[in-house]
């Protein structure tokens, strides 16, 4: 018995990506953005097919992502940011609304929204996840976007 399997390949044939990048903690987010773009280009994405949209913070991501998805023209959105816990519960609200909002947009429009937003307790954790000993979450988000674009094309 042969089980039919459908899975996305890591390629970007004529795919259009929009990166939504927040400015908070830019010393970390810049590394996430570099990792994401490097990954996309190395997997065949045309740099001219990439768009970068900058937002103030993670809390503003969902409304920007919703507007981008509504306008159309992209095969996937990659959200890049860093929410670093401070001394108040603010972290919970920013991180929670960010992820909830972008997940809702992804489902509403059937559009992959890769979650490359760090939600960490310390700056050290952020640094570790933006290109040092714990990898680059921006690159990982780009890999997810590549795979999902190809997967959804196969399903359609």
**Residues annotated catalytic, as ranges:** 90
Would you give the binding string for ligand LTPLIIQW spanning residues 78-97, x where CB under 6 A is met? -----xx-xxx-xx--x---
Please give the residues from 123 up to 152 whose contact with ligand LTPLIIQW meets the rule CB under 6 A: none
Binding part of the chain for ligand LW54GNZ2, among 33-41, 52-60, 137-145, 147-155 by CB under 6 A, reads 52-60
Question: Rounded to whole angstroms, what are the CA distances from 136 to 11, 36, 56, 133, 153?
Answer: 19, 8, 21, 9, 26
Instruction: Work out whether 60 is an interface residue with ligand LW54GNZ2 (CB under 6 A).
Output: yes
> CB-wise, 76 or 84, nearer to ligand LTPLIIQW?
84
In degrees and rounded to multiples of 5, residue 117 shows phi and psi of: -105, 115
Separation of alpha carbons 92 and 76, rounded Å:
26
Q: Binding-site residue total for ligand LW54GNZ2 (CB under 6 A)?
A: 13
CB 15 within 8 A of CB 25: no
> 113 — phi, psi (to 5°)?
-125, 100
Binding site for ligand LW54GNZ2 (CB under 6 A): 22, 24-25, 56-60, 81-84, 94
């Amino acid at each position: 018995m042969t089980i039919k399997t459908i899975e996305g390949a890591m390629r970007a044939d004529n795919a259009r990506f929009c990166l939504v990048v927040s400015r908070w903690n830019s010393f970390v987010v810049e590394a996430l953005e570099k990792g994401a773009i490097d990954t996309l280009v190395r997997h065949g994405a045309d740099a001219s097919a990439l768009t970068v949209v900058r937002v103030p913070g993670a809390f503003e991501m969902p409304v920007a992502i919703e507007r981008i998805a509504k306008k159309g023209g992209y095969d996937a959105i990659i959200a890049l940011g860093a929410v670093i816990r401070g001394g108040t519960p603010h972290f919970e609200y920013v991180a929670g609304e960010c992820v909830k909002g972008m997940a809702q947009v992804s489902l509403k429009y059937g559009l992959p929204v890769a979650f490359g937003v760090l939600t960490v307790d310390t700056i050290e954790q952020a640094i570790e996840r933006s290109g040092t000993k714990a990898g680059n979450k921006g690159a990982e988000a780009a890999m997810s976007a590549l795979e999902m674009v190809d997967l959804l094309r196969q399903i359609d």
